[in-house]
Amino acid sequence: MTFDMNDVAPQQSGDLIPDGTFAKVTMSIRKGGTDGMSEVDRGLLKPSNQPGSDVLMVDAEFTVAEGRFARRKFWQNFTVQGGKLDEQGQSIGWKISKSQFRAMIDSALGLNPEDMSEGAKAKRMLRGLADLDGITFVAKIQIEANRNPAYKDANKLDHVVLPTAPEWQKVMSGEAVPTQPSQKPRPAAAPAQPAAPAWGQSQPAAAPTAPAWTTPASTQQPATQPTQAPQPESGPQPSHGSQPSQGPAWLNP
């Protein structure tokens, strides 16, 4: 048996896609093993790895579909349930993700975001988030600086490019679009404060602390507090009268 190594792309250099690049990308959803709210979303969602967090996410892989950076990939999570809530008790993360998902549909199908005709509204109806798997749209890609200098920066989705933007038509026509960098400078580390000499510091006696097993469970604080307050938020609920029986328009043109 022989192995033909000619049919694969050359090894990538590891360089990131330049900040501000416009490209057509395809989103694939990597299943996280947790069920969503819809029948088609069984095993779709990924739970947060933060202790005590109730956040569930769509784990998305983006692949550049064509052009100079064809087949290059980047990854991003989208909160769809749980996390920090707004004044109305709605998941802030889900509201942001839902807006991005709608933009993906508009970009993929060439819909004007202000088009609220019955035909356009029907195209934005999903059986579940799994219907977004395989959607191809125009994106602006950014380089996100890692807050920890010990880790590398990464490509992320800056925003979905809508059909009302001039870059959308150019990308869809195969034209090269100049980059529009959007990278923010890496947060500067806080300067170290000089320590006072040991002889100038008074050392108060440490107050005794009770052992952990004497603290009532109801008053113990978790070791790590997630950045988002754990409050469950249900996923999208399509109305029964208009729920499509088949896949989305990008799978069934």
Q: What is the pLDDT of residues 43-59, one digit of tens each?
A: 999 999 999 999 999 99
Judge residue 49's burial from the number of C-beta atoms within 10 Å of its C-beta, 0-12 exposed, 13-18 middle, 19 or more buried: exposed
* Residue-number span of the structural domain to which 71 is assigned: 16-172
How far is it, in rounded angstroms, from Cα 139 to Cα 157?
Answer: 7
Q: Residue-wise over 61-79: b if at least 16 C-beta within 10 A, else e?
A: ebbbbebebeebebebbbb
**pLDDT winner (highest mean) among 103-112, 149-158, 228-237:** 103-112
Mean pLDDT value across the chain: 81
CB 92 within 8 A of CB 85: yes
Q: What is the pTM of this model?
A: 0.71
What's CA 88's distance to the chain center, in Å? 23
Question: Is residue 88 in a domain?
Answer: yes
- How many domains, in total, are found in the chain? 1
Q: What is the pLDDT of residue 182?
A: 79
Tokens representing 33 are: 């093993």
Residues above pLDDT 70, as percent of the chain: 70
Question: Is residue 131 in a domain?
Answer: yes
Q: In sequence order, what are the beta bridge partners of 159?
A: 140
Question: Is residue 185 in a domain?
Answer: no
Q: What is the pLDDT of residues 55-70, one digit of tens each?
A: 999 999 999 999 999 9
Q: Is 111's pLDDT higher than 50? A: yes
Cα dist from 194 to 101, 182, 191, 199, 209, whole Å: 49, 36, 9, 15, 29
Question: Is residue 188 in a domain?
Answer: no
Q: Is 31's pLDDT higher than 70? A: yes
Q: Specify the DSSP element, H or E, that contains 61.
A: strand 56-64
Name the nearest CA neighbour of 86 among 216, 228, 214, 184.
Answer: 228
Q: What is the pLDDT of residue 5?
A: 84
Question: Is residue 196 in a domain?
Answer: no
Question: Is residue 242 in a domain?
Answer: no
> Residues 240, 245, 251, 253: is their CA dihedral positive or negative?
negative
Question: Is residue 195 in a domain?
Answer: no
Question: Is residue 179 in a domain?
Answer: no
